[in-house]
C-alpha cells in the first residue's frame, strides 16, 4: 500500500518556521502528496496537497522535491494552535482512491 516515512516527533518554538519532512520514495507519477493534521480530540484537518510543483495556501507551503521522492511541509510561523499530529499521505487517484494514514509526526510548539 502507499507508504510514506515521517519522523515520529518534532519540536519548534512559537513564531519560528517549521519544516516537516516526508519521504515517499516509491511514489508513482500520478500520486498526489497530501498533508493533514489532527489536533487532540478532533478529526483530521486538510492542510495542503500537491503533485509536482510547490504549493502555497493560507495555512502552509508544500515543497516537493524534483524527483518527487520527498516533500516538506512548511509552517511559516508556528503558533501554539499548530501543535498536532501531521500526516503525509500519498494519494492515488481513480476508483481506488483512499487516504492511507501512517503514524505521522507529532509537532510540539513551545511558547
Partner 1 sequence: KAGVTQTPRYLIKTRGQQVTLSCSPISGHRSVSWYQQTPGQGLQFLFEYFSETQRNKGNFPGRFSGRQFSNSRSEMNVSTLELGDSALYLCASSLATAGGIGYTFGSGTRLTVV
Which residues 38-77 are close enough to bind partner 1 by CB under 8 A? 42-46, 49, 51
Which CB atom, from 10 or from 32, has the smaller least distance to partner 1? 32
Which CB atom, from 83 or from 87, has the smaller least distance to partner 1? 87
How many angstroms separate the Cα of 52 from the Cα of each of 13, 31, 34, 71?
Answer: 30, 9, 12, 10
Which residues 5-44 are close enough to bind partner 1 by CB under 8 A? 30-32, 34, 36, 42-44
Distance in angstroms (rounded) separating the CA atoms of residues 29 and 14: 36
**Is residue 92 at the binding interface for partner 1, with CB under 8 A as the rule?**
yes
DSSP state of 14: T
Which CB atom, from 14 or from 106, has the smaller least distance to partner 1? 106
Amino acid at each position: 500500500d502507499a507508504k510514506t516515512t515521517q519522523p515520529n516527533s518534532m519540536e519548534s518554538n512559537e513564531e519560528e518556521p517549521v519544516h516537516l519532512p516526508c519521504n515517499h520514495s516509491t511514489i508513482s507519477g500520478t500520486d498526489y502528496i497530501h498533508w493533514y493534521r489532527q489536533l487532540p480530540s478532533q478529526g483530521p484537518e486538510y492542510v495542503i496537497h500537491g503533485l509536482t510543483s510547490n504549493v502555497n495556501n493560507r495555512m502552509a507551503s508544500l515543497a516537493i522535491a524534483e524527483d518527487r521522492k520527498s516533500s516538506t511541509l512548511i509552517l511559516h510561523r508556528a503558533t501554539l494552535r499548530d501543535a498536532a499530529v501531521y500526516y503525509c499521505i500519498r494519494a492515488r487517484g481513480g476508483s481506488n482512491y483512499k487516504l492511507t494514514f501512517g503514524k505521522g509526526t507529532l509537532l510540539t510548539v513551545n511558547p
